[in-house]
Structure 1
Amino acid sequence: MVKALGEYLLFLRAMFGNTVPFRMFLSRISKECIQVGIDSLFIVCIISIFIGGATCIQLASQLQSPFIGKSFIGVAVRNMTISELAPTVIGIVFTGKIGSSMASELGSMRISEQIDALEIMGVNANNYLVLPKIIATVFMYPLLVIIAMFLSIYGGFLACKYLTSVPSQAYIDGLRNAFDSYSVHIALYKSLAYGFIISSIACYKGFTTRGGALDVGKSSTDAVTNSCIAILIADLFLVYVLLGHCT
């Protein structure tokens, strides 16, 4: 465990030595932004809408107390979406799509000796291949989380309006009730941390792949598994640090 952590930290450190030309580096970042952000937009939108809708229906079915107003559903969907569902659940799904893709891509390049060829030519493969992926993910993932927040809340509104007996105006009133913008800040802090965790672990697993085609699949699986565990640990830590003063 300690050895793996040390190798991971050395892997991150190696990204900042012998940098490639800035124009080439910027081109790589642009390409990765499209792959990480634009190509993930569809699945993020679909998941967000249905998560918001399902959350609203479940709350509406369980809210039977006459002492709790119907607007509480809007408050609950808003708070759950912003604080946990958008950054964390989307992060786990994002790991399965982007994290496995990064690990597979770098793993295939490693076993086909493309990375070795770059290193022989004097190119810092960590800087040229890995750093653009991490920067692109850290930049694009918060944007995806913002979209997920909006669509999840809107999905809850659609479910409230067409699939429950709760008045849609009550849902809207709940959204407006006692809104704290700090919760959005927390979600964005989480998304920055998750973006780095997902991309760095996936790239590390792919970059250090050894063996053949079967080992590429194993690296991809390990990247997803380790990233999901790291996200959940980071979620607990960040919530404690950012909201510990409220308890």
Structure 2
Amino acid sequence: MPTVRPPSTFASRLTTPFTNAMIAFGDWWLFSLRAATGVLRRAFGRREFLRLAVEVGTNSVGVVAITGMFIGMVLAVQAYGQFHAIGLETSLGAVIHISVVRELGPVLAAVMLAGRIGSAMAAELATMRVTEQLDALSCLGVDPVKYLAGPRLLAALLLLPLLTVLADVMGLLGSSLICLHVYNIDSYHYWRHTREFVKVWDVMVGLMKAFVFGGVLSLIACHRGFNSRAGAEGVGRAATEAFVVAFVAILMIDFVLAMLANTVYAVLWPPTTAKVV
């Protein structure tokens, strides 16, 4: 006699997506712990790590540099009109540079890496899942998560902060080019305001964000690849989900880290009444 399923209620339809999301989040955390264990125990070869480091870092230099430069130029163009109207155009150096160093540099570098490398990681691992290469590694006594996700995690952790530094430098160059050579802002006051308001703390906050973003996006991409569905459609869906989930996670984590950094800064260095003149 066939079993009769009880009709779904309105409450169950509301709670099921939330329950599934919590299950997926817990599974991701367990996956992340296994990958981190692979990094700590060096469960992968040096040659594989160097290959991934070149793919994550060297091959991403161009797109990150171009993105950083044009973001700085666009910020300068958009902000100049507003600041010039109130006679504070010389303060653009402080405003643009602190925005690039603390927020736009790490976020844009992470987003570009999620689109270029995160999708590729997910597609590569999903292909290995579909072709049963992951099962073959398990049969050989090798933990595929530690062996494959470990080096990808380590490469993203180490190289995304370096790419963020590149994005910051190119953003500062782009904005300075527009402000000083197109709008002819006085260079002395432009750089003086930058030195007074952009501190080492701001640079360290940006690098800390980049470090966190690198770990999160690589783990999301690897997790999506390991849990891919069968077939070519599953590989494509894994790559798409890796980018979308990583992008949303980067924005959410950026908000949390920004609030945390501002709170810590207010505790360590109480705010003063400094003004931009």
Query: Shorter-chain TM-score: which interval?
Result: over 0.9
Deviation at 1:174, TM superposition (A): 2.9
CA contact (8 A) 1:206 1:219 kept: yes
Cα separation, partners in 2 of 1:85 and 1:21, compared to 1, 3 Å? closer
Distance 1:20 1:179 in 2: 35
Instruction: Describe how 1:133-212 pairs up with structure 2 within 5 A.
Output: 133-212=152-231
* Paired position in structure 2 for 1:226: 245
Deviation at 1:15, TM superposition (A): 3.2
Cα separation, partners in 2 of 1:47 and 1:19, compared to 1, 3 Å? closer
* Paired position in structure 1 for 2:99: 80
* Count of residues paired in the alignment: 246
1:22-55 CA distances to partner (integer Å, 9 max, x unpaired)?
5952222111111100010000000111111111
TM-score normalized by the length of structure 2: 0.83
CA contact (8 A) 1:32 1:132 kept: yes
1:71-122 CA distances to partner (integer Å, 9 max, x unpaired)?
2111111111011110112211221111101101101111011111111111
CA contact (8 A) 2:220 2:242 kept: yes
Distance 1:56 1:167 in 2: 14
Instruction: Describe how 1:71-110 pairs up with structure 2 within 5 A.
Output: 71-110=90-129
Match of 2:142 among 120, 123, 145: 123
The answer to which structure, 1 or 2, has the higher relative contact order (CA under 8 A, 6+ apart) is 1
Answer with 12-21 or 71-80: which moved more.
12-21
Deviation at 1:204, TM superposition (A): 0.3
Cα separation, partners in 2 of 1:135 and 1:23, compared to 1, 3 Å? closer
Bigger Cα Rg: 2
CA contact (8 A) 1:57 1:164 kept: no
CA contact (8 A) 2:44 2:151 kept: no
1:139-197 CA distances to partner (integer Å, 9 max, x unpaired)?
00000001111110011111223332434444333322333211111111101110011
Q: Are 1:61 and 2:81 an aligned pair?
A: yes
Moved over 4 A (4+): 16-24
Unaligned ranges ≥5, structure 1: none
Report % sequence identity: 29
Deviation at 1:10, TM superposition (A): 2.1
